[in-house]
Amino acid sequence: MRETFNFCAGPATMPYNVLKRAQEELLDWHKEGASVMEVSHRGKAFVALAKECESDLRELLDIPANYKVLFLQGGGLAQFGLVPLNLLGTQIGDGKTTVDYLETGIWSKKAMLEGARYAGVNTLYSGKADGYVDVPHQNEINVNPDSAYLHLCSNETINGVEFHYDIKNCPIPVVADMSSNILSKRIDVNQYGVIYAGAQKNIGPAGLTLVIVREDLLGKASPYVPDALNYTLQAENDSMLNTPPTFAIYLMSLVLKELKEKGGLEEMEKLNHKKSFMLYDTIDNSRLYRNPVHVDARSNMTIPFTLADPTLDALFLKEAEQHHLINLKGHRSVGGMRASIYNAMPIEGVIALTNFMKDFEARHYG
Ligand SMILES: *Cc1c(COP(=O)(O)O)cnc(C)c1O
């Protein structure tokens, strides 16, 4: 174990065993006589690693055969533009030009604003007026059948709002930004057209972007999409049209092995519920801490909370650090605190945090 528990929202804490293993084989990977980051992405050893990484991901998420898995770059933000550019390209002017958006927080709003450069935007739901504290229920989502797709963010990393269900049998493809909750629970991939995620929250280090795309959505890219970011070209080239982020893929493969060893997503789901329940329970049973999100939309991954007396914020952060609980400062747009408790945060970290929070309240707000 390390001495600190790191609650950073992203890049986020990595599993200890993964870092340890990477450290052990950093100088000589698989007796290649070189580090994994120093060998060709087209060499036998790395190609085998990438294949295994993909098959482990397919197994963990139960990805059907008619979906392609792409290892790209550019992060989640780049996908805000790349999704419309890849899905609407050939249709602009002669087909669907509108996209339905669910605005449940700061990330989905950003996606919508960028999407507006390429598509007509139809905001089906906005939680803005209430301060982003809820998600719509499935029966409140009336998609426009003429829209190209529906876009949503499955976990709002900043606002701490999460969809706890997959939208079922949507008449248009569902595109989901799962940057901050992918692999945290079981999902039904069949209900999605595209799933994308920057790696640095729940998959591995920054620099890798995962895209899972249903095959019938390929072949629709605008001619202005750079080849390296074109879903169809990358699918045809096993994500090796250009040099992929090899070291990040290697670390992702170690993370997936660890998830499989721990019992897969069913076990992660149970553990993540347990961890978030402890933290919400501490918040709800205190006078000092508060989380504004509606109970059934509360995130199991990224949990913002404010202090009733904000003049205690700085002291809270200082004392937390002294207790080896680091990076708890909230996002600048929301203030207060945020505890990100992704897969890699052990339950011991949440126990230490909640014990500290109770003790801090008793000493300073009793
Ligand atoms: C972090 C995050 C992003 C942005 O990711 P970058 O890799 O910085 O581009 C987008 N969406 C969500 C939900 C995120 O958590």
Domain final residue pick, 261, 276, 302: 261
159 lines ligand 1 (CB under 6 A): no
Task: Answer whether residue 355 shows pLDDT above 50.
Answer: yes
> According to the annotation, is 42 in a ligand binding site?
yes
Answer whether residue 222 is part of any domain: yes
Answer whether residue 105 is part of any domain: yes
> According to the annotation, is 190 in a ligand binding site?
no
Answer whether residue 5 is part of any domain: no
- The closest of 170, 191, 195 to 182, measured between CA atoms, is 195
Task: Answer whether residue 346 shows pLDDT above 80.
Answer: yes
**What Cα–Cα distance (Å) separates residue 258 from each residue in 147, 210, 228, 251, 327?**
40, 18, 30, 11, 24
For 164-182, the pLDDT digits (tens) are 999 999 999 999 999 999 9
For 207-253, the pLDDT digits (tens) are 999 999 999 999 999 999 999 999 999 999 999 999 999 999 999 99
Question: Which pLDDT value is given to residue 334?
Answer: 87
Domain final residue pick, 205, 231, 261: 261
In terms of domains, do 37 and 127 share one?
A: yes
Average pLDDT across the chain, whole number? 96
Mean pLDDT of the 38-63 span: 97
What spacing in Å lies between the alpha carbon of 158 and ligand 1's midpoint?
10
Answer whether residue 6 is part of any domain: no
Question: Which pLDDT value is given to residue 191?
Answer: 98
What spacing in Å lies between the alpha carbon of 75 and ligand 1's midpoint?
7
Report the number of distinct structural domains present in the chain: 2
In terms of domains, do 270 and 236 share one?
A: no
Task: Answer whether residue 291 shows pLDDT above 70.
Answer: yes
Query: Sorting pLDDT into bands at 50, 70 and 90, what band is 89?
Result: confident
In terms of domains, do 208 and 224 share one?
A: yes
For 122-162, the pLDDT digits (tens) are 999 999 999 999 999 999 999 999 999 999 999 999 999 99
The residue nearest atom 14 of ligand 1, judged by CA position, is 179
> According to the annotation, is 122 in a ligand binding site?
no
179 lines ligand 1 (CB under 6 A): yes
350 lines ligand 1 (CB under 6 A): no
Task: Answer whether residue 95 shows pLDDT above 80.
Answer: no
**288 is in which domain, residue-wise?**
263-365
What spacing in Å lies between the alpha carbon of 77 and ligand 1's midpoint?
6
What single string gives the DSSP state of each residue in 194-227? Answer: EEEEETTTTTSSTT-EEEEEEGGG-S---TTS-G
Q: Give the mutation target among 79, 179, 195, 340 for probing the ligand 1 site: most ligand atoms within 8 A of CB.
A: 179
The rounded distance, in Å, linking the Cα atoms of 184 and 303 is 14
Mean pLDDT of the 81-103 span: 84
In terms of domains, do 237 and 269 share one?
A: no
Answer whether residue 229 is part of any domain: yes
Query: Sorting pLDDT into bands at 50, 70 and 90, what band is 97?
Result: confident
What spacing in Å lies between the alpha carbon of 366 and ligand 1's midpoint?
38
Task: Answer whether residue 39 shows pLDDT above 90.
Answer: yes
In terms of domains, do 230 and 360 share one?
A: no
> What's the half-sphere exposure (Cβ side, CA atoms, 13 Å) at 331?
16
In terms of domains, do 232 and 273 share one?
A: no
In terms of domains, do 220 and 310 share one?
A: no
> According to the annotation, is 200 in a ligand binding site?
yes
> According to the annotation, is 98 in a ligand binding site?
no
Query: Sorting pLDDT into bands at 50, 70 and 90, what band is 17?
Result: very high
Query: Sorting pLDDT into bands at 50, 70 and 90, what band is 333?
Result: confident
In terms of domains, do 252 and 336 share one?
A: no
**What Cα–Cα distance (Å) separates residue 306 from each residue in 142, 143, 180, 359, 365?**
34, 35, 21, 16, 14
In terms of domains, do 276 and 286 share one?
A: yes
Question: Which pLDDT value is given to residue 113?
Answer: 97
In terms of domains, do 257 and 283 share one?
A: no
In terms of domains, do 306 and 236 share one?
A: no
CATH code assigned at 170: 3.40.640.10
107 lines ligand 1 (CB under 6 A): yes
Task: Answer whether residue 91 shows pLDDT above 80.
Answer: no
Q: Give the mutation target among 83, 104, 107, 113 for probing the ligand 1 site: most ligand atoms within 8 A of CB.
A: 107
Question: Which pLDDT value is given to residue 358?
Answer: 98
Atom of ligand 1 nearest to the CA of 74: 9
Question: Which pLDDT value is given to residue 84?
Answer: 95
Task: Answer whether residue 317 shows pLDDT above 90.
Answer: yes
Question: Which pLDDT value is given to residue 93?
Answer: 46
Q: Which are the catalytic amino acids?
A: 107, 177, 201
76 lines ligand 1 (CB under 6 A): yes
Answer whether residue 10 is part of any domain: no
The residue nearest atom 7 of ligand 1, judged by CA position, is 75
The rounded distance, in Å, linking the Cα atoms of 115 and 155 is 19
10 lines ligand 1 (CB under 6 A): yes
Domain final residue pick, 242, 261, 280: 261
Question: Which pLDDT value is given to residue 108?
Answer: 98
In terms of domains, do 281 and 168 share one?
A: no
> According to the annotation, is 332 in a ligand binding site?
no
Q: Write the CB contacts of 40 (distance below 8 Å, at least 6 apart in sequence).
A: 46
For 246-281, the pLDDT digits (tens) are 999 999 999 999 999 999 999 999 999 999 999 999
Answer whether residue 2 is part of any domain: no
CATH code assigned at 310: 3.90.1150.10
Q: Which 8-state DSSP code applies to residue 91?
A: G
Answer whether residue 281 is part of any domain: yes
CA dihedral over 320, 325, 331, 336, signed as positive or negative: negative
Question: Which pLDDT value is given to residue 94?
Answer: 52
Mean pLDDT of the 104-120 span: 96
